[in-house]
């Protein structure tokens, strides 16, 4: 049966970079037998403009009930900054994450050898880096109750949040991470703070228990403070890292910045059945929107993740990744990775990836 992909371009550079990703999907359909249909819908500021809400009912219905996977560009823009909080573009994104129960956030940090100079670390430390951070996305301290700011008897105010994980929440993120590790190098490092936090003690226990179902995966544990050091000291020691919401928030940004190129990194957010939303890690870049200058590669690589994690097409995912590597070999660079010089346009980059795909052996 044909897969349905929801296409949500969003705001700013979103429509420009998503156009290039759609070209790549079209090429896979025409030349490589991908059986997929696309349906486009507005979200974020575009949703507000079209239907008065950042997550219009019809977009939600498409993503929740009918689509097998969602490809999102980016949301946000200065023209929406004065809207009430519940109508701001970001609400569309958060609404989708919670409505689709996307608890597992996959953030790869990949450094193409051709771009090793873009990192702030020495090339030999980061060249060829390929790690995946699996971050729990819908639980932990960002959502735990009670939370708030209260007044104490002495009149002083006190802020408080609750770090809480139920066993089933740990178990499902553990399974998600083991599944990811099975598709990669079969090494999983669980990052916690079990020397201080009871939540982490339980986390560790569940990680070990779930691991019995994945004997091929080598599990290790690391405290989060050490993990942050190791990520900048010798990042290539990692294959897959799994961690709680807040630790993952911080560590995945560190890992992303090791690669030095925000326009290159895709991401996925998955539910328990592997359905997912795929998007570049960057935002809507209003400063360059409409100029045909944005780097579309993070969005194109998000399509590769979609093929691997939601559509069961790892060979097509690899084709896209090889095509991207090929255009970098050819020296094509958009402005953000052009090392000071002027790069090719968004459309030229998309066209080059499609051409590289077409040149591959069938």
Nearest to 195 by CA among 224, 166, 220, 168: 224
* Backbone dihedral region for residue 103 (phi beyond 0: left; psi -120 to 50: alpha; all else: beta): alpha
- Nearest 5°: the CA angle 277, 82, 73 is 20
Q: How far is the CB of 114 from ligand NAD (least distance, A)?
A: 17
48 annotated active-site: no
By CB under 6 A, tell whether 262 contacts ligand NAD.
Answer: yes
Identified catalytic residue from 213, 253, 329, 339: 253
310 or 346: CB nearest ligand NAD: 346
- Structure token pair of residue 187: 């090494």
75 or 191: CB nearest ligand NAD: 75
By CB under 6 A, tell whether 303 contacts ligand NAD.
Answer: no
23 annotated active-site: no
Count of residues in contact with ligand NAD, rule CB under 6 A: 22
By CB under 6 A, tell whether 70 contacts ligand NAD.
Answer: no
For residue 31, the number of C-alpha atoms closer than 13 Å in the C-beta half-sphere is 18
115 or 188: CB nearest ligand NAD: 115
- Nearest 5°: the CA angle 71, 72, 73 is 130
30 annotated active-site: no
By CB under 6 A, tell whether 61 contacts ligand NAD.
Answer: no
Whole-number Å distance between alpha carbons of 151 and 139 = 26
By CB under 6 A, tell whether 139 contacts ligand NAD.
Answer: no
Q: How far is the CB of 84 from ligand NAD (least distance, A)?
A: 16
Nearest to 327 by CA among 132, 126, 112: 112
Burial annotation 336-356 (CB, 10 A radius, 16+ → b, else e)? bbeeeeebbbbeebbbbbbeb
11 annotated active-site: no
By CB under 6 A, tell whether 24 contacts ligand NAD.
Answer: no
Q: How far is the CB of 283 from ligand NAD (least distance, A)?
A: 2
17 or 240: CB nearest ligand NAD: 17
45 or 211: CB nearest ligand NAD: 45
Span 278-297, contacts to ligand NAD by CB under 6 A: 279, 282-288, 294-295
By CB under 6 A, tell whether 265 contacts ligand NAD.
Answer: no
Residue in the block written with tokens 């990836």? 353
249 annotated active-site: yes
| Rg over CA atoms, the chain | 21
Span 322-351, contacts to ligand NAD by CB under 6 A: 336
Q: How far is the CB of 63 from ligand NAD (least distance, A)?
A: 15
Q: How far is the CB of 263 from ligand NAD (least distance, A)?
A: 4
* Backbone dihedral region for residue 91 (phi beyond 0: left; psi -120 to 50: alpha; all else: beta): alpha
Q: How far is the CB of 46 from ligand NAD (least distance, A)?
A: 12
Sign of CA dihedral 178, 183, 184, 185: positive
Q: Where are the beta strands (DSSP E) in the chain?
A: 3-10, 36-40, 69-74, 104-110, 130-136, 148-151, 157-160, 187-192, 218-223, 240-243, 266-270, 276-280
Catalytic residues: 142, 193, 225, 249, 253
- Chain residues binding ligand NAD by CB under 6 A are 13, 17, 74-77, 90, 93, 262-263, 279, 282-288, 294-295, 298, 336
């Amino acid at each position: 049966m044909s897969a349905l992909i929801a296409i949500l371009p969003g705001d700013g550079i979103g429509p420009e970079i998503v156009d290039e990703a759609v070209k790549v999907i079209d090429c896979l359909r025409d030349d490589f037998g991908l059986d997929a249909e696309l349906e486009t819908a507005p979200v974020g500021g575009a949703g507000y403009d079209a239907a008065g809400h950042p997550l219009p009912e019809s977009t939600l219905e498409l993503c929740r009930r009918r689509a097998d996977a969602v490809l999102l560009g980016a949301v946000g823009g200065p023209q929406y900054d004065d809207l009430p909080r519940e109508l701001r573009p970001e609400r569309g994104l958060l609404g989708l994450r919670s409505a689709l129960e996307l608890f597992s956030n996959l953030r790869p940090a990949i450094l193409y050898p051709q771009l090793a100079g873009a990192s702030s670390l020495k090339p030999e430390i980061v060249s060829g880096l390929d790690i995946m951070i699996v971050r729990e996305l819908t639980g932990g301290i960002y959502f735990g109750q009670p939370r708030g700011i209260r007044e104490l008897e002495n009149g002083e105010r006190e802020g408080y949040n609750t770090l809480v994980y139920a066993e089933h929440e740990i178990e499902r993120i553990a399974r998600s991470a083991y599944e990811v590790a099975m598709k990669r190098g079969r090494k999983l490092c669980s990052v916690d703070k079990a020397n201080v936090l009871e939540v982490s003690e339980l986390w560790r226990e569940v990680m070990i228990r779930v691991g019995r179902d994945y004997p091929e995966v080598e599990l290790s544990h690391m405290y989060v403070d050490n993990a942050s050091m190791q990520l900048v000291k010798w990042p290539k020691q990692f294959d897959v890292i799994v961690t709680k919401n807040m630790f993952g928030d911080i560590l995945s940004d560190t890992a992303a910045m090791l690669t030095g190129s925000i326009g290159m990194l895709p991401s996925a957010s998955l539910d328990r059945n592997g359905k997912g939303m795929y998007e570049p890690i960057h935002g809507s870049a209003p400063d360059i929107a409409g100029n045909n200058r944005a780097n579309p590669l993070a969005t194109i690589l998000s399509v590769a993740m979609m093929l691997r994690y939601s559509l069961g097409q790892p060979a097509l995912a690899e084709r896209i990744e090889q095509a991207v590597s090929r255009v970098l070999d050819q020296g094509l660079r958009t402005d953000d990775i052009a090392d000071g010089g002027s790069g090719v346009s968004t459309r030229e980059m998309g066209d080059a990836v499609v051409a590289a795909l077409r040149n591959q052996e069938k």
